[in-house]
Chains A and B, each alone.
Chain A
């Protein structure tokens, strides 16, 4: 296995680890029953959503409390195109990130003018507007009833087929996001996170840079939304509700926001925990899940990926800086 990632690092293990992971995921349908394939599908979708979210939080230093807006715009765009316009799913899915990007551009234009708490609150406000529009516009969106029977074509309908489809799309999405983070744009984004004033004086238009990051993040959130729509077979207004906005936040924090792979690890851990805890305590599971999340975040400030580095973990135990 390769050396540990650099501090603030991006690659917790070498390419070998990734290849093993990819192979294991590709072979999973041979060993796992459909239920677990569906769980893995959902993990992949949430992982993409949280990774897109973390482009802003971990790499851009911008905490959005309203990313459900772009997830929901993506989900509803795909669902509406299929249900109301008869567009084939394979065209509806790529349309989703475009619609989400437009939404992120319009809202982001205002949001990036603010920072910190104000940034978070305005992003939340816009998401609540999206929620309200979906909720009230019954004629188009079905309001509270949502849109039902949003299924993929027969070829992709089985859990195994949709699992593979999701794996490919999420894989491509993660590769694209990784390239963004390693690109000159990504370096400049990190400089904006670290020190906006200094970044301006190396010639970076900070607001514009933040807006472009917001749009990219929104687009991939929308892609995750579209994947989820066909996975779920239906879309509902609460896709845009604030509780949905906190999902990528919690998942990214659990996994580790300093690492590109953190949110993915977080999605895995969160969804497995959710499944275990809700099976154990069918009524009060959110209470237990919440407690576990808090404990993990306090004990592992670097998230799950902090464990793989050894250093962070040892430092926690020995208390050495």
Chain B
């Protein structure tokens, strides 16, 4: 197995990452090297191990083999909240917002936690980080919905809100697990264009999984293709599109419609 580089200039590096569920090798020896500032897509058919890979990287699951380096440091076994504090942000495949809190409170709570004030018993939380929260909501286009309980927002708006929650932690690396799932095509492009703009503005590194190939090829600068838990291809979009193995995995369909 080719050893990845020494980690210079990489915000995320996994080597030989593996996870078994019973007899199934959900993730099997995955080497991933993501440089700072890149927008990386991870694609693959259903069951390829994308979400499991995400959950290993974010500490939601523990891996059986391999190493994970984040921003040059070994982060094996770190729990999610500590990874978050080190600058890793994520969204979930199934929309995860705090449903009975308003959109504003969702983002305010994330900001409170980010500023380590979540053990403060004395302040009035309602007044804290209001402007910052409204700014973030504005950024994802939810400014007008700030006062609504987030569970009552439209599905696409909940996904936008989750993005704002993730951004509140000022991540250096943002992992988006199917950020456009369940969205209308036009909305998909809107939200991914937004992600692309934020990444370009702030130098944020983005790694995302996605089924919509239009979205993938519109945004990603490099694409990793997973198949049966292993890396099938890892290349620039044009090269991935031309890759025969990738086309075969996608049942002979041209990769980009």
Contacts and interface: CB of A to CB of B under 8 A. Distances in A.
Nearest to B59: A200
B149 A8 contact: yes
Q: Which of A183, A185, A190 has the most CB of B within 10 A?
A: A183
Nearest to B85: A203
A185 B85 CA distance: 17
A96 B233 CA distance: 65
Nearest to B165: A202
Nearest to B126: A182
A303 B117 CA distance: 33
A203 B81 contact: yes
Interface stretch (A116-124, A205-213, A227-235, A241-249): A205-213
Nearest to B94: A197
A180 interface: yes
A98 to B, nearest CB: 16
A210 to B, nearest CB: 12
Nearest to A8: B100
A201 B149 contact: no
Interface string B86-110: 0001101000111111100110111
A167 to B, nearest CB: 24
B118 A184 contact: yes
Given A184-B117, A195-B96, A201-B89, A190 B81 contact: no
A311 to B, nearest CB: 13
Nearest to B151: A194
Given A190-B101, A204-B81, A206-B81, A197 B96 contact: yes
Interface residues of B, number: 43
B119 A212 contact: yes
Contacts of A185: 118-121
Interface residues of A, number: 28
A282 interface: no
B125 interface: yes
Contacts of B165: 198, 202
B1 interface: no
Interface string A238-257: 00000000000000000000
B30 to A, nearest CB: 21
Contacts of A180: 121
A179 B122 contact: yes
Given A191-B109, A203-B84, A209 B118 contact: yes
Given A201-B90, A203-B169, A204-B81, A183 B123 contact: yes
Interface string A24-37: 00000000000000
Given A188-B118, A202-B113, A195 B123 contact: no
A275 interface: no
Contacts of B121: 179-180, 183-185
B146 interface: no
Nearest to B106: A191
B168 interface: yes
Contact of A203 (B100, B108, B113): B113
A187 B128 CA distance: 11
A187 B108 contact: yes
Given A190-B109, A195-B99, A200 B81 contact: yes
Given A190-B100, A194-B100, A202 B120 contact: no
Given A187-B105, A191-B101, A197-B60, A204 B118 contact: yes
Nearest to B88: A201
Contacts of A191: 98, 101, 106, 109, 113
A262 interface: no
B150 to A, nearest CB: 9
Contact of A184 (B58, B60, B81, B123): B123
Interface in B52-80: 58, 60, 79-80
11 contacts: A8-B101, A8-B149, A179-B122, A183-B122, A183-B125, A185-B119, A185-B121, A190-B98, A191-B98, A194-B98, A198-B162
Interface of A: 6-8, 179-180, 182-188, 190-191, 194-195, 197-206, 209, 212
